[in-house]
Amino acid sequence: MSAGKLQEILSQGKFAVTAECGPPRGANAEVVWKKGALLKGYVDAVNVTDNQTAIVRMSSIAACAHLIQMGIEPVMQMVTRDRNRLALQSDIMGAYSLGIRNILCLSGDHQIFGSQPEAMNVWDIDCMHLIHTVKDMRETGKDMSGFALDEPPKMFIGAAENPFADPFEFRVLRLAKKAAAGANFIQTQCIYDIARFKEWIHVAYEQGLTEQVHILGGVTPLKSAGMANYMATKVAGITIPEAIIKRLEATPKEKAAAEGMKICLETIQELREIKGVHGVHIMAIEAEDKVPEIVKLAGLYPRP
């Protein structure tokens, strides 16, 4: 089977653009179609979240399959929180059989933050193990038990990294671990603190890691000072510099969203100039309609 578009673009050294699509809290495929229609043609691949923030939604695999039918290439997110290694492997095989070619391996948000905090978690394996497993399936054709698979899934493997989480000095080390485990591309946490991001990627670049793994910088346009404050204080792992919050606070309310968009475009512009950054991942949470505008204004349209 042929490689996906995302893999092709990244391996050709082109600047990739991905976006995100959260499946509905229900069985309504139309929601996926609508989001897909908004994004089609503007991005190279669309990440489909897997029970993101531990809120139960339509499965990532099913939503990915809907996107494929629309001619959109999905990146299937997969968390190790909800399934043990048996279920993970079988779902990877199933996903590949449905035409899914990209996977983003995650440990997942803790269920305590979700809609069903009384649930038992799994974490039989962590995201590093998942990366390793998918690579082994691809390279050796075997599952975790060493069994040779009939048509092994050959996924393009992604992982996440948060350059803003602590301890900072370990973040590059962990990136190296993910690259060694088999990650082909990395999508980062939303970048607002560009200085810290530069520091992180500089070390990664110096160590040659950006040659081993494609880094896609994550961006999320802020809609208001309130949203910025909320994300800075309530969302784990996100850092927003005081200067950005002040800039939004100083903007009249009705113009805050436009200012947030401007900040987002400035970030993308900066990212494009940083050595080692190979793309941008636009996480417009429940604002997929903004993605085409961002892509166009950032000068990243048309896509290859």
Partner 1 sequence: MIVGQQKPLAEIKAEVVPFSKLLILGCGTCVKTCFAGGEDEVATLASSLRLAFKKDGRQIKIEELTVERQCEDEFIKEAAAAIARNDAVLSLACGAGVQMVANRYAKSPVLPGVNTTFIGILEKQGLFTEKCLGCGDCVLDVFAGICPVSRCSKKLMNGPCGGSHGGKCEVNPDTDCAWQLIIDRSKDFGQLDRLSTYVPPKDWRTSNAGGPRKLVREDHII
Residue 59 has which token pair?
């499965």
Decide whether 110 or 196 has the Cβ nearer to partner 1: 110
Residue 36 has which token pair?
């897909």
DSSP code per residue over 153-184: --PEEEEEE-TTSSPHHHHHHHHHHHHHHT--
**136 contributes a contact to partner 1 by CB under 8 A:** no
Is 6 within 8 Å of 73 (Cβ atoms)?
Answer: yes
Residue selected from 34, 85, 142, 272 as contacting partner 1 according to rule CB under 8 A: 85
With CB under 8 A as the contact rule, which of the stretches 106-114, 260-268, 281-289, 290-298 interacts with partner 1?
106-114
Look at residue 31 and give its three-state secondary structure. helix
- Smallest gap, in angstroms, from Cβ of residue 130 to partner 1? 9
Decide whether 59 or 121 has the Cβ nearer to partner 1: 121
Residues 211-250 that bind partner 1 (CB under 8 A): 236-237
Tokens 């040779």 belong to residue: 148
**180 contributes a contact to partner 1 by CB under 8 A:** yes
Residue 3 and residue 76: Cα distance in Å, rounded? Answer: 15
With CB under 8 A as the contact rule, which of the stretches 9-17, 35-43, 166-174, 267-275 interacts with partner 1?
166-174
**189 contributes a contact to partner 1 by CB under 8 A:** yes
**103 contributes a contact to partner 1 by CB under 8 A:** no
- Which H or E run includes 290? none
- Smallest gap, in angstroms, from Cβ of residue 31 to partner 1? 27
Residue 130 has which token pair?
């998942």
Residue selected from 3, 86, 87, 173 as contacting partner 1 according to rule CB under 8 A: 173
**285 contributes a contact to partner 1 by CB under 8 A:** no
Burial of 14 (0-12, 13-18, 19+ CB in 10 A): middle
Residue 25 and residue 55: Cα distance in Å, rounded? Answer: 8
**144 contributes a contact to partner 1 by CB under 8 A:** yes
Is 79 within 8 Å of 48 (Cβ atoms)?
Answer: no
Binding site for partner 1 (CB under 8 A): 81, 85, 107-110, 112, 121, 123-129, 132, 144, 160-162, 165-167, 170, 173-174, 176-177, 180-181, 189, 236-237
